[in-house]
Amino acid sequence: MKIKMEQFLREQSLKGIKYESIVHVGASSGQEVDAYVLHGAKEIILVEPLPNEAAKLRTLANLHTGWCNIEVIEALALAHVGYEKLHVTSNSVSSSIFGKSNPNMHTIDFVNEITVECDRLDNMLIDKMPYIDLLVIDAQGSEHLVLKGADKDVLESTGTIYIEASETPLYEGACTYKDIEAILLPYGFKLQGKYYNERGTGDAIFVR
């Protein structure tokens, strides 16, 4: 998502659009953070369930002290509160709650399984960010569950959503673009565009 995000932010800047408040769910080790800061973000919340990746994010947040306020939340964003098994890959980026990839799309080797704390996005954001300029979601097939864990107030207080999407499930049990669209359209979001590869997978941008 990093290269596409940098391109997207450049395009928005040329249009005079600035995202000062950003929430990134599934932030991994923070590959996009520098692009957010250069874009002019003032408030950033990074949500990441993997302990090692969350530790990297906290280090990154300290490096940007004085430029913007970055908060790291170490949890898995889903539609319920409690604990969930996370299937971990060697590169961490493809780790997912779904333990089997769709062989027609790609093959992923899971090397570990850990139990992590999970929470709803609306709980995570209580009293933290009254308006979200840009919500980024990279949840490896559970994007629909992230959205279901964001209540009406959160979704109606969000301007743009940049979300990983696929026409075909990447994992067995994972969501598709249609599942995401069905959740967002009733809240007034409209598709602005897609960054898709030849397999029909990538990212979609929705705006209100």
Domains in the chain, CATH or no CATH each = 2-207 (3.40.50.150)
Question: What is the per-residue pLDDT across 162-201, written as a single tens digit (0 to 9) for each?
Answer: 999 999 998 889 999 999 999 999 999 999 999 998 888 9
User: What are 169's two structure tokens?
Assistant: 């499930």
Question: What is the per-residue pLDDT across 87-120, written as a single tens digit (0 to 9) for each?
Answer: 998 877 889 999 887 777 677 778 899 999 999 9
Please list, in sequence order, all residues whose beta carbon lies within 8 angstroms of the beta carbon of residue 14, skipping any fewer than 6 positions away: none
Give the model's pLDDT for residue 60: 94
Question: What is the per-residue pLDDT across 27-68, written as a single tens digit (0 to 9) for each?
Answer: 999 999 999 999 999 999 999 999 999 999 999 999 998 889
Share of the chain above pLDDT 70, in %: 98
Give bridge partners of residue 206 from the DSSP assignment. 161, 191
What mean pLDDT is reported for the chain? 93
Share of the chain above pLDDT 90, in %: 80
